[in-house]
């Protein structure tokens, strides 16, 4: 089973993949409307909102948690300066 390189979500069903394309390495939540993968900033904003919604954390703390999550993922692991 593949996991999304940009957010870590396990992708089981065809519809979990970006544009329903099982050859893609990222999920539908990490794709823009045109099917391309979101940028780090877009993902960090989205993940921060997710952490806030799921645990009610204060924004600055949620952003740290989100950045920590992203740092472990293949898409962002080797980002320079992070």
Part of the chain binding other proteins (CB under 8 A), chosen from 25-33, 36-44, 60-68, 74-82: 60-68
The bridge status of strand 2-3 relative to strand 10-11 is antiparallel
> Per rule CB under 8 A, is residue 73 in the interface with other proteins?
no
CA pair distance 56, 58, nearest whole angstrom: 7
Q: Among residues 41, 56, 58, 78, which is the contact residue for other proteins, using CB under 8 A?
A: 56
CA pair distance 48, 64, nearest whole angstrom: 8
Nearest to 68 by CA among 59, 81, 77: 77
Question: For other proteins, what does the binding mask look like between residues 2 and 41, x meaning CB under 8 A?
Answer: --------x-x-----------------------------
Q: Among residues 20, 35, 68, 74, which is the contact residue for other proteins, using CB under 8 A?
A: 68
Q: For Cα atoms 45, 78, 16, give the angle at the middle one, nearest 5 degrees.
A: 55
Residue number, 10 or 20, with CB nearest to other proteins? 10
């Amino acid at each position: 089973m593949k996991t999304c390189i940009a957010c870590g979500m396990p992708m089981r069903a065809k519809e979990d993949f970006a544009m329903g394309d099982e050859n893609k390495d990222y999920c539908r939540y990490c794709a823009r409307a045109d099917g391309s993968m979101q940028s780090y900033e877009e993902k960090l904003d989205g993940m921060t909102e997710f952490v806030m919604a799921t645990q009610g954390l204060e924004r600055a703390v949620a952003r740290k948690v989100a950045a920590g999550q992203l740092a472990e993922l293949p898409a962002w692991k080797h980002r320079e300066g992070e």
